[in-house]
Amino acid sequence: MRSQQLGDTGVYAEICGGIASGKTTLAILLGQTRISSCLENFQSNPFWKAFYADPIGTAFETEISFLLQHYHEIKTASKQESAFACDFSLLLDRAYAQVTLNEEKRAAFLAVYQVIRRELPPPNLVIHLVCAPEVELERIRRRGRDVEQSITVDYLSAINKALAKVIKTETGGWNVLSIDSVKLDFANDEHDKQHVLELVKSRLMNC
């Protein structure tokens, strides 16, 4: 049963995956159906640009602020929409914390994370976009955001591995759909797009 604090009986999906794995693209595609898009406003995070300039020095405030931002966005959307898909995930927030934070700061992050997890119900569907780090880097270079140009394959690989581990350990009994966003080019191929949309809608209808 969904949390009474959310005041909603609808369903929601969290889309998780590495940088440039296709999260926003998929959320926007779902928004063209009866599933509303809930898109991360990453540029509103005051530490976003600072993080790429100094990942070690600004990691803690960046990860905590994104976690709280996503928590608030899920709560807000749950009160307004009967069905929605987020292009972000609390699972991915935890994966970032595993990679970027030292032990002391990770413990503080996890304390906040656990409070949020106790309040919010699990998503009705977790969509895990699997994408090779080399492909992610190519897509990052192609979209040309200045702040992302220092990202490396090693960093992308670390995020992907941490996310896979978090999904494996945290989602027992959850509805998880893994999609290879390299093999299924839903951004450009119409057949792949329709196939992925049907997969997601089928999973959500069976919640």
Query: What confidence score (pLDDT) does residue 66 get?
Result: 94
Q: How far is CA 125 from CA 11, 13, 194, in A?
A: 8, 5, 18
What are the pLDDT digits (tens) for 122-133?
999 999 999 999
Residue 146: which pLDDT band, with cuts at 50, 70 and 90? confident
Residue 80: which pLDDT band, with cuts at 50, 70 and 90? confident
Name which residue leads in pLDDT, 50 or 86: 86
Contact indicator for 39, 28 with CB cutoff of 8 Å = yes
Q: State the chain's mean pLDDT as an integer.
A: 90
Query: What confidence score (pLDDT) does residue 8 get?
Result: 44
Q: How far is CA 5 from CA 2, 8, 122, 192, in A?
A: 9, 8, 13, 37
b (16+ CB within 10 A) / e for 171-193: eeeebbbebebeebebbeeeebb
Q: Write the CB contacts of 146 (distance below 8 Å, at least 6 apart in sequence).
A: none
Q: Is the pLDDT of residue 4 over 50?
A: no
Q: Which two tokens stand for residue 117?
A: 């997890």
User: Looking at 15-24, 36-45, 86-95, which range is the least confident one?
Assistant: 36-45
Q: Write the CB contacts of 35 (distance below 8 Å, at least 6 apart in sequence).
A: 13, 83, 84, 85, 200, 201, 204
Contact indicator for 9, 1 with CB cutoff of 8 Å = no
User: How much is the pTM?
Assistant: 0.90
Residue 207: which pLDDT band, with cuts at 50, 70 and 90? low
Query: What domains are there in the chain, each with its CATH number?
Result: 10-205 (3.40.50.300)
What are the pLDDT digits (tens) for 176-206?
999 999 999 999 999 999 999 999 988 887 7
Name which residue leads in pLDDT, 50 or 92: 92
58: which strand partners? none
